[in-house]
Structure 1
């Protein structure tokens, strides 16, 4: 049985010749919206996506072999959008510590705005069934940001990759708990992030 929070009525007209890529992008955008609402990749079906757009299910299969392929394409796009937000936050920061703090806060803010996508991206069974190599870009960027703090003498010299892993584990832990236990008496995320940066990276807390 297909699971979808909403269904549009009416059939969609066929895309003009040469606009297959446009339909593919619409399929991905629709899948992202439904995944956000469902918070579970296994609750999504290709037929549900097709109904939401107003096309035949066969039109989805032309672009995606199965549900996992579509979900991966959707997650890769939203992860790319997240990295773009991280880049913009870092570009507006004044020094290596501020840049590391900015990129870390972006993840928390994004998860708060998109809890369903966060669950699918990091907590779904899809993570156990298939690899998501695009997620390495975030960890590589965080390791580089930690290394810049060390190189500038703003954090103790250490193994940047190990420190980055500790930091990401702590941040994902609090982000996941906030997503799954939203009514708990959480302190401001900024305060927790500053404690993580101080205790795990060794930088001075933000003034």
Structure 2
């Protein structure tokens, strides 16, 4: 019952209480859709403990919410791993991981907004993004280069650019769901697929950053002669 206090926890149960606090906070974020609606008092009532019990695990509300968002993005990394079919081509894996990212953002809009908001300094969330989902995505870009569907280069800019594509379509679908997207998942799939394939096409053209005129000329040669060169 909300507002009631449970008996004193047995020794060694601090880790379990911490998990309960995180789950309650995540539930509040999901139900209210706003970090402003989360308070230490509201969380303590959901868990059935006093506010000081929460402060023993988290210094303040900001630290609590950051911990929740960090856990969400640990789950995002797992979603990307689950979306990866080792039997499919690296380019398909890259597209599928981008789609898993978009689906996850749509399923956790408030946590996603908080995790991708501007921060003054790096924290737990940034570490999770770098070591979890981000690194998994980077590994697949490496596969594309090893296979030859992307030219060998420093993979970091490619990963950042493809991440920005996934973030962009996910953010717009969250912020502007009333726009005439048609089927949102199909729209996101077209965007992610075009971005992934685009790197291979640019490599075929043979310039680091071809101009629109160079692309038009390349396409003209392809249409007229059946060869991109």
Tell me the TM-score normalized by structure 1: 0.84
Give the one of 154, 157, 165 matched to 2:149: 154
Deviations 1:104-139 (A, max 9, x none): 11111111211122112213x6x3465322111222
Structure 2 stretches lacking a partner, 5+ long: 203-229
Deviations 1:39-69 (A, max 9, x none): 4434422111101212111110111111122
Structure 1 stretches lacking a partner, 5+ long: 1-6
Q: Give how far 1:85 is off.
A: 1.5
Tell me which residue corresponds to 2:65. Answer: 71
With over 3 angstroms needed to count, the CA separation of the structure-2 counterparts of 1:103 and 1:173, relative to structure 1, is same
What does 1:71-150 correspond to in 2, within 5 Å? Answer: 71-123=65-117, 127-128=119-120, 130-131=122-123, 132-137=126-131, 138-150=133-145
State the distance in 2 between where 1:133 and 1:53 align. 28
Please say if 1:199 is aligned against 2:198.
yes
> What SS class does the counterpart of residue 9 from structure 2 fall into?
coil
With over 3 angstroms needed to count, the CA separation of the structure-2 counterparts of 1:95 and 1:41, relative to structure 1, is same
Tell me which residue corresponds to 2:25. Answer: 31
Q: Give how far 1:176 is off.
A: 0.5
State the distance in 1 between where 2:200 and 2:169 align. 17
Deviations 1:50-94 (A, max 9, x none): 012121111101111111221122112111111111112114552
RMSD of aligned alpha carbons: 2.2
> What SS class does the counterpart of residue 185 from structure 1 fall into?
coil
Deviations 1:24-45 (A, max 9, x none): 1000111111122344434422
Tell me the TM-score normalized by structure 2: 0.76
Aligned length: 195
Q: Which shows bigger deviation, 184-193 or 75-84?
A: 184-193
CA contact (8 A) 1:105 1:190 kept: yes
Please say if 1:177 is aligned against 2:172.
yes
